[in-house]
């Protein structure tokens, strides 16, 4: 080893040594918030037509079942309540509210290191959903998910470089009281990760308690309002074209409390949205535009995410199919509509219909994840861990998803074409009087860390090496990583005094 001392090996060894150290953030091959947008499933004319159809739908069909408070807010702004109870939106109103909408939302982490800048086509991947089962990869058993499972998911996500936020991916079914469940969901997520957290609330009356909890975690209301590290995932509509009355009231409470809101329209093409992909996008856009009017009429510029989340039905059964090519197109098309409006947007990708983290899960998760990234979706929700069309969450799959998303992010980064990248001089020096190959050249070594993404769990060994490794099974390797992560103390747990204050005020189920 003395041969490698800096004195003997000179500049090359120094460079090798530098490469062994972590790279500065701007030199890492991939990172959160890289810009996508090279994939554009829709023409400019298509975008206009979808926009116009959505405006027509808002003007002529409108939405029913707004709460009294919402009717007041929206009609005060210029919306029209019909005799049929539907609120209709003049085009000019929608256009005016789009001008007021916040176009540069930052979603804060508890640690600013994890802040997410949702401007432009910047792409972030994370979890989401409301799975009711945990998937046991050894037995294929789907059991009810618990608050400990949720906390563990948060702890795992906290350690995964390519999981940029944690929206609550599963329901703590061991907590039967809905108020306690909502509050414990916040606790379990925030105690597990410093990354941005998304949650939902079952009833509007639970929101004040949630803010009390969040103020305790933040160190007071001002600190919370300065850097809100939790957003509200809000299904404010029940497609087609109906407000979800209680969720709208939750949304109003969240807006007042300074919480960013994900305006989530989760229609299902062929069931609660038109079976046509374009039609499902039209309806989702219309519904989310209604949300933009609602929120900006209430609090202009309040941080919102334009959450067009149309899902897909398998039309043979009517059941959801999140892993289909149709789903990938829906999500990418929505991302392009977000760009059309210049709004911060989110949609669902990475869902597997597969029950286990098998080959089907891999292709399903990659298809929609890479297309979402290439289309420049700001927030790619449900990007990892989701099985059985959102019914099951799997920790091993979350870990594998980190690798999968790493490769998707490499694709989002794309191809640089500077003079240096064109490599003419490297080619010349290699071919004419050079070694005739590029192995070990300075150019190759320099690009090794800056340009290439390596899997953590994925295996690239040759068959011979793989046999020597004992033919490791991918899922087993993921289980080992899971156990390693969970064997260490949770770094995001709250300071003892804060934790004591929380526990004396609320019934915290997590030990």
Restricting to residues 289-328, name those near a copy of itself by CB under 8 A: 314-319, 321, 323-326, 328
Cβ proximity to a copy of itself: between 9 and 474 the closer is 474
CB 306 within 8 A of CB 81: no
Cβ proximity to a copy of itself: between 366 and 508 the closer is 366
Q: Of 190, 193, 247, give the one whose Cα is nearest residue 213.
A: 190
For residue 202, what are the contacts with CB-CB under 8 A and spacing of at least 6? Answer: 178, 179, 181, 182
Cβ proximity to a copy of itself: between 370 and 380 the closer is 370
Q: Of 234, 143, 221, 256, give the one whose Cα is nearest residue 182.
A: 234
Q: Is the peptide bond before 240 cis (omega within 30 degrees of 0)?
A: yes
Q: Is 278 in the site for a copy of itself (CB under 8 A)?
A: yes
Task: Compute the radius of gyration of the chain from its Cα atoms.
Answer: 24
- The total of other beta-carbon atoms located within 10 Å of residue 511's CB is 6
In the complex, the smallest distance separating the C-beta of residue 336 from a copy of itself, rounded to whole angstroms, is 9
In the complex, the smallest distance separating the C-beta of residue 378 from a copy of itself, rounded to whole angstroms, is 19
Q: Is 420 in the site for a copy of itself (CB under 8 A)?
A: yes
Q: Is 329 in the site for a copy of itself (CB under 8 A)?
A: yes
In the complex, the smallest distance separating the C-beta of residue 423 from a copy of itself, rounded to whole angstroms, is 3
Q: Which of residues 344-373 bind a copy of itself (CB under 8 A)?
A: 353-367, 370-371
Cβ proximity to a copy of itself: between 260 and 406 the closer is 406
Among 191, 241, 297, 335, binds a copy of itself (CB under 8 A): 241
Among 69, 119, 423, 480, binds a copy of itself (CB under 8 A): 423
Q: Is 338 in the site for a copy of itself (CB under 8 A)?
A: no
Among 282, 295, 347, 349, binds a copy of itself (CB under 8 A): 282
Q: Is 484 in the site for a copy of itself (CB under 8 A)?
A: no
- What SS3 string covers 190-255? HCCCCCEEEECCCCHHHHHHHHHHHHHHHCCHHHHHHCCCEEEEECCECCCCEECHHHHHHHHHHH
Q: Which of residues 443-462 bind a copy of itself (CB under 8 A)?
A: 443-445, 447-448, 451-455, 458-462
Residue 225 has which token pair?
């309002």
Q: Which of residues 106-165 bind a copy of itself (CB under 8 A)?
A: 133, 140, 142
Q: Is 424 in the site for a copy of itself (CB under 8 A)?
A: yes
Cα–Cα distance measured from residue 157 to residue 127, given in angstroms and rounded to the nearest whole number:
8
Q: Is 414 in the site for a copy of itself (CB under 8 A)?
A: yes
Q: Is 41 in the site for a copy of itself (CB under 8 A)?
A: yes
Q: Is 61 in the site for a copy of itself (CB under 8 A)?
A: yes
SS3 352: coil
In the complex, the smallest distance separating the C-beta of residue 310 from a copy of itself, rounded to whole angstroms, is 12
Quickly list DSSP for 438-454: -TT-HHHHHHHHHT---
Half-sphere exposure of 383 (CA within 13 A, CB side): 34
Cα–Cα distance measured from residue 309 to residue 283, given in angstroms and rounded to the nearest whole number:
10
Cβ proximity to a copy of itself: between 337 and 502 the closer is 337
Cα–Cα distance measured from residue 132 to residue 145, given in angstroms and rounded to the nearest whole number:
6
In the complex, the smallest distance separating the C-beta of residue 321 from a copy of itself, rounded to whole angstroms, is 5
Distance between start and end Cα atoms, the chain = 48
Q: Is 411 in the site for a copy of itself (CB under 8 A)?
A: yes
In the complex, the smallest distance separating the C-beta of residue 347 from a copy of itself, rounded to whole angstroms, is 14
Residue 351 has which token pair?
């869902």
Q: Is 275 in the site for a copy of itself (CB under 8 A)?
A: yes
Among 5, 21, 415, 511, binds a copy of itself (CB under 8 A): 415
Q: What are the phi and psi torsion angles at 84 (to 5°)? A: -85, 5
Among 18, 113, 431, 500, binds a copy of itself (CB under 8 A): 431
Q: What are the phi and psi torsion angles at 29 (to 5°)? A: -60, -35
Within 101-172, residue ranges assigned H as helices are: 147-159
- CA 21 to chain CA mean position, Å: 29
Cβ proximity to a copy of itself: between 205 and 276 the closer is 276
Q: Is 93 in the site for a copy of itself (CB under 8 A)?
A: no
Cβ proximity to a copy of itself: between 67 and 323 the closer is 323
Cα–Cα distance measured from residue 380 to residue 162, given in angstroms and rounded to the nearest whole number:
11
CB 107 within 8 A of CB 231: yes
Cβ proximity to a copy of itself: between 254 and 273 the closer is 273
Size of the site for a copy of itself (CB under 8 A): 127
Q: Is 331 in the site for a copy of itself (CB under 8 A)?
A: no
Q: Is 237 in the site for a copy of itself (CB under 8 A)?
A: no
Cβ proximity to a copy of itself: between 234 and 321 the closer is 321
Q: Of 115, 105, 130, 303, give the one whose Cα is nearest residue 194.
A: 115
Q: What is the dihedral of CA 86, 292, 274, 340, to 10 degrees?
A: 140
Q: Is 85 in the site for a copy of itself (CB under 8 A)?
A: no
Q: Which stretch in 161-169, 197-205, 295-303, 408-416 sits in contact with a copy of itself by CB under 8 A?
A: 408-416
Q: Is 397 in the site for a copy of itself (CB under 8 A)?
A: yes
Q: Is 18 in the site for a copy of itself (CB under 8 A)?
A: no
């Amino acid at each position: 080893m003395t041969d490698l001392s800096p004195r003997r090996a000179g500049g090359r060894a120094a460079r090798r040594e530098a490469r062994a150290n972590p790279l500065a953030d701007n030199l890492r091959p991939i990172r959160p918030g890289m810009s996508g947008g090279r994939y554009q499933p829709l023409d400019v004319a298509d975008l206009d037509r979808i926009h116009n159809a959505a405006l027509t739908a808002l003007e002529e069909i409108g939405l029913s079942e707004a709460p009294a408070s919402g009717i007041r807010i929206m009609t005060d702004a210029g919306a029209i309540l019909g005799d049929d109870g539907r609120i209709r939106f003049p085009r000019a109103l929608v256009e005016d509210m789009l001008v007021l909408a916040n176009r540069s939302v930052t979603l804060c982490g508890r640690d600013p290191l994890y802040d997410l800048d949702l401007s432009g086509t910047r792409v972030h991947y994370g979890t989401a959903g409301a799975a009711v089962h945990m998937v046991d990869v050894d037995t294929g058993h789907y059991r009810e998910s618990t608050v400990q499972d949720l906390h563990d998911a948060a702890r795992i996500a906290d350690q995964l470089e390519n999981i940029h936020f944690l929206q609550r991916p599963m329901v703590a079914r061991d907590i039967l009281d809905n108020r306690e469940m909502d509050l414990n969901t916040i606790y379990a997520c925030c105690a597990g990760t410093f990354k941005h957290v998304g949650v939902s609330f079952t009833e509007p009356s639970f929101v004040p308690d949630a803010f009390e909890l969040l103020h305790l975690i933040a160190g007071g209301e001002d600190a919370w309002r300065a850097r809100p590290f939790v957003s509200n995932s809000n299904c404010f509509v029940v497609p087609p074209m109906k407000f979800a009355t209680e969720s709208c009231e939750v949304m109003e409470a969240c807006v007042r409390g300074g919480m960013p809101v994900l305006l989530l329209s989760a229609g299902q093409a062929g069931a609660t949205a038109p079976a046509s992909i374009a039609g499902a996008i039209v309806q989702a856009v219309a519904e989310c535009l209604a949300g933009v009017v609602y929120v900006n009429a209430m609090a202009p510029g309040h941080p919102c995410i334009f959450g067009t989340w149309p899902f897909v039905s398998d039309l043979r059964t009517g059941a959801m199919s999140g892993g289909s090519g149709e789903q990938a197109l829906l999500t990418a098309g929505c991302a392009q509509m977000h760009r059309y409006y210049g709004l911060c947007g989110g949609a669902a990708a990475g869902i597997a219909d597969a029950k286990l983290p098998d080959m089907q899960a891999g292709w399903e998760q990659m298809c929609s994840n890479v297309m979402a990234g290439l289309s420049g979706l700001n927030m790619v929700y449900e990007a990892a861990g989701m099985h059985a069309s959102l019914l099951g969450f799997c920790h091993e799959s979350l870990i594998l998803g980190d690798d999968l998303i790493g490769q998707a992010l490499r694709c989002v980064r794309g191809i640089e074409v500077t003079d240096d990248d064109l490599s003419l001089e490297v080619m010349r020096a290699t071919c004419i009087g050079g070694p005739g190959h590029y192995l070990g050249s300075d150019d190759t070594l320099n690009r090794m860390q800056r340009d290439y993404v390596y899997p953590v769990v994925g295996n690239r060994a040759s068959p011979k090496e793989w046999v020597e490794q004992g033919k490791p099974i991918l899922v087993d390797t993921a289980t080992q990583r899971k156990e390693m992560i969970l064997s260490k103390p949770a770094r995001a747990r709250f300071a003892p005094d804060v934790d004591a204050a929380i526990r004396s005020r609320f019934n915290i189920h997590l030990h």
